[in-house]
Structure 1
Amino acid sequence: MAGDLKSRLIEEARAAGFAKVGVCRPDAAPQTAGRLDAFVAAGRHGQMGWMAERMGWRGDPTALWPAARSVVMLAESYTPDVDPMEVVGQRDLGAISVYARGRDYHDIVKKRLKRVGRWLLEQCPGEEIKVFVDTAPVMEKPLAQAAGLGWQGKHTNLLGRDIGNWVFLGAIFTTIDLPVDAPEVDHCGSCRKCLDACPTDAFPAPFQLDARRCISYLTIEHKGPVPAEFRAALGNRIYGCDDCLAACPWNKFAVAAQEMRYHGTGALDAPPLAELAVLDDAAFRAMFSGSPVKRLGRDRFVRNVCYAIGNSGRPELAAVLVPLLADPDPVVADAALWARERLTRGVAADGAGA
């Protein structure tokens, strides 16, 4: 009976748009707590105080909802239809991480999780579910590995032999007792392409990340001025970074994204830095309506754009920095000053110098 329910659950999840489905117990990743403790104790979470908060729930999903008997982990592909690294070499354009070039995945994935969850409850009246998409103290990647979806690679992201690593993860916690899947094991072998691709050496060792050095963290989570030692390495990356993901050889098996809204209209594939630098708050909100980028806010985004302009090697872009030198946000003004001085010194666009 339970096995038949699970088979039909997988069919429903695939019909909803998920590329892969697996089931594990809430306590199936006991090593999570130790890894999280070490990560936070070393200060590698940076300013992400929310990672240190509710660590009991993050490290032990059974504490998050003690009534849960099973965790259904689902992966949805957002594999890009363009080379994500092509724009990185065009220094007068802004490089936005692939996942943020289309519609906000939180909304899309959550609706699909709720669809699958409603179906599950229809089959099992009286049972309960809770759905999570990257906004609750749930360690999705260890649970996804425990459910057999893939494994956490040396870049710490989830990847699978049949789905690659361009995936969004969602979780359905339920009181229903479902048959579990065998956990996946590491298949990285001796490969270190993802580690070598990182512009800021954010991996102290394989399978370990120091967020304080990660460009995704620096451009999204980090508040205030980005440390001077990392500004040149940002290049023209203004929201997130795809370097380690793009380098993974397992992507040759990546599942094509079925949801076209993840690809967007192309407007965010390579936006001109000169146009982004002049955005006020209203224009920023209008441009990024429905995009994950909107969560960043105008000030932090324009800060990133200023660093990218400073790394562009294009002196003609200095003109757009002039109004920003007196920006109400002192962090934006500081970034504009750094960029102007860098362009004035004629620093090469390859990122040399500080």
Structure 2
Amino acid sequence: MAGRRAGVADLCGPGFLSATDLSELKAKLTAEAKALGFDCIGVTEPGTIETAGKYFLEFIASGGHGDMDWLAASPERRVDPRGLWADVRSVIMLGVNYGPDQDPLAILKQRTRAAISVYAQGDDYHDLVKKRLKALARWLVAAVPSEVKVFVDTAAVMEKPLAQAAHLGWQGKHTNLVSREFGSWLFLGAIYTTLELPRDDAEIDHCGSCRACLDICPTAAFPAPYKLDARRCISYLTIENKGPIPREFRRSLGNRIYGCDDCLAACPWNKFAQEGREAKLAARDELRAPGLAELSRLDDAAFRTLFTKSPVKRIGRDRFLRNVLIAIGNSGEVALAGEARRLLEDASPLVRGAAVWALSQLASPDEFEALKANAIATEQDEGVREEWRAAS
């Protein structure tokens, strides 16, 4: 190697890297990340989220996570990356912009059409982002022999606090990450590595006195700034919640059938997002504003076909139709009462119960009472019978 300076690929391992070599490696890593479609990248050390870990434990203790038991499992692995992997020396955080190309709240006025959260209108981001993470991890290991692990919202990783520590953005009052370049629209992924890469400075909070994300929430899911009660969040209610939608929140759902973009879309930092961004994850036209009537007619096979590669597929047809029926009940469109009436005979008690509520909102009092008397006598599921008794 005489006569030239060794590059990072010539070195035997991380122990041979000088500070200059590490800076050079990080610069090349950043370039490779951008080439793979990541919009931002930063590096932090594992022990930087102690305060966030404390808040997380308080959140779990309060029961704010609802039925998401996986959040409460092994909290020590979540509050410190070293609890998940003792050998990690650096955490590489990466973001992919998925900012919408139109106002995501405009559809809320189209009451006979379904509002699907922006992130779920295309292919599943877990698969898309993980593919890029693995490619970048392979590049890093080839550049310098080291160990790596990749994560994208599927393991005990506190992505948002780590992203703030790595300068990608800050956790806003809605508890989501906010970027000065990309607003509230970033998918996050992480690469844990045994390399000691140069660190980025943590980003500071730029929310100021703004309360836009808190004030727009339809269900008052934020008991205080930076605190979320997931049990009141529409995203939780329509996705994670396995049972009936609690009656107190049904009208607030409007036509939101999968997730909710209100707090994200309200963030003023969205307007400062860079124009002409290349890394948008394309929405599928058929998922931008599908009709409620058409969705209500999906059997299991048709549901799986429509939502192939979509995160929506994970909640299953019955929970999905539960959400669609709540939206039908909120539509004010009497013509949709026939869809609810038909689903009173569905095999799923969850669907039948939601159909009862939808019909109670659209049918005439006389028709509903006539159906109610017969249904209470013949319905086998106690939960559905309770829906009939509670509806009027």
Q: Tell me the TM-score normalised to structure 1 length.
A: 0.95
Aligned-residue identity in percent: 59
Matched AA of 2:322: R
Output the CA distance in 2 between the equivalents of 1:250 and 1:264.
22
Matches within 5 A, 1:228-267: 228-255=247-274, 258-259=278-279, 262-267=281-286
Output the CA distance in 1 between the equivalents of 2:282 and 2:340.
30
What is aligned with 1:17? 37
Q: 1:54 aligns with which of 70, 74, 86?
A: 74
Q: Does 1:176 align with 2:195?
A: yes
Output the CA distance in 2 between the equivalents of 1:68 and 1:188.
32
User: Once superposed, what is the RMSD of the aligned Cα atoms?
Assistant: 1.4
What is aligned with 1:329? 348
Would the aligned equivalents of 1:310 and 1:339 in 2 still touch at CA under 8 Å? yes
Q: Counterpart of 2:302 in 1: which secondary structure?
A: helix
Go from structure 1 to structure 2 and tell me whether the alpha carbon gap of 1:279 and 1:182 turns closer, same or farther (over 3 Å shift).
same
Q: Counterpart of 1:173 in 2: which secondary structure?
A: strand
Output the CA distance in 2 between the equivalents of 1:258 and 1:4.
26
Q: 1:220 aligns with which of 229, 235, 239?
A: 239
What is aligned with 2:292? 273
Q: Does 1:33 align with 2:53?
A: yes
Would the aligned equivalents of 2:217 and 2:262 in 1 still touch at CA under 8 Å? yes
Output the CA distance in 2 between the equivalents of 1:83 and 1:340.
31
Q: 1:123 aligns with which of 140, 143, 147?
A: 143
Q: 1:81 aligns with which of 101, 123, 128?
A: 101
- CA-to-aligned-CA distance 1:152-198 (integer Å, 9 cap, x gap): 00000001112211110000000011010000110000000000110
Q: 1:166 aligns with which of 182, 185, 206?
A: 185
Deviation at 1:207, TM superposition (A): 0.5
Output the CA distance in 2 between the equivalents of 1:320 and 1:230.
22
Q: Counterpart of 2:363 in 1: which secondary structure?
A: helix
Deviation at 1:33, TM superposition (A): 2.1
Q: Counterpart of 2:86 in 1: which secondary structure?
A: coil
Look at both structures and tell me which one has the larger radius of gyration over its CA atoms.
Answer: 2
Q: Does 1:110 align with 2:110?
A: no
Output the CA distance in 1 between the equivalents of 2:342 and 2:156.
41
Q: Counterpart of 1:297 in 2: which secondary structure?
A: helix
Would the aligned equivalents of 1:78 and 1:257 in 2 still touch at CA under 8 Å? no
Matched AA of 2:254: G
- CA-to-aligned-CA distance 1:263-315 (integer Å, 9 cap, x gap): 23311010000000011100000000011111110000000000000000001
Matched AA of 1:101: Q
Moved over 4 A (4+): none
1 or 2 for the larger relative contact order (CA 8 Å, sep ≥6)? 1
Deviation at 1:34, TM superposition (A): 1.1
Deviation at 1:257, TM superposition (A): 5.0
Q: Does 1:204 align with 2:198?
A: no
Would the aligned equivalents of 1:80 and 1:257 in 2 still touch at CA under 8 Å? no
Q: 1:138 aligns with which of 119, 132, 157?
A: 157
What is aligned with 1:349? none
Output the CA distance in 2 between the equivalents of 1:123 and 1:265.
37
What is aligned with 1:3? 23
- CA-to-aligned-CA distance 1:43-71 (integer Å, 9 cap, x gap): 10001010110111011211100101000
Q: Counterpart of 1:284 in 2: which secondary structure?
A: helix
Matches within 5 A, 1:270-309: 270-309=289-328
Matched AA of 2:41: V
Structure showing the higher helix proportion among its residues: 2
Q: Tell me the TM-score normalised to structure 2 length.
A: 0.86
Deviation at 1:110, TM superposition (A): 0.4
Go from structure 1 to structure 2 and tell me whether the alpha carbon gap of 1:345 and 1:212 turns closer, same or farther (over 3 Å shift).
farther
Q: Counterpart of 2:290 in 1: which secondary structure?
A: coil
What is aligned with 1:341? 360
Output the CA distance in 1 between the equivalents of 2:32 and 2:282.
24
Q: Does 1:71 align with 2:117?
A: no
Deviation at 1:345, TM superposition (A): 5.6
What is aligned with 1:99? 119
What is aligned with 2:383? none
Q: Counterpart of 1:267 in 2: which secondary structure?
A: helix
Would the aligned equivalents of 2:99 and 2:182 in 1 still touch at CA under 8 Å? no
Output the CA distance in 1 between the equivalents of 2:135 and 2:48.
25
Output the CA distance in 2 between the equivalents of 1:322 and 1:341.
10
* Alignment gaps of 5+ in structure 2: 1-20, 366-390
Matched AA of 1:96: I
Output the CA distance in 2 between the equivalents of 1:282 and 1:305.
17
Aligned residues: 346
Would the aligned equivalents of 1:79 and 1:257 in 2 still touch at CA under 8 Å? no
Would the aligned equivalents of 1:165 and 1:254 in 2 still touch at CA under 8 Å? no
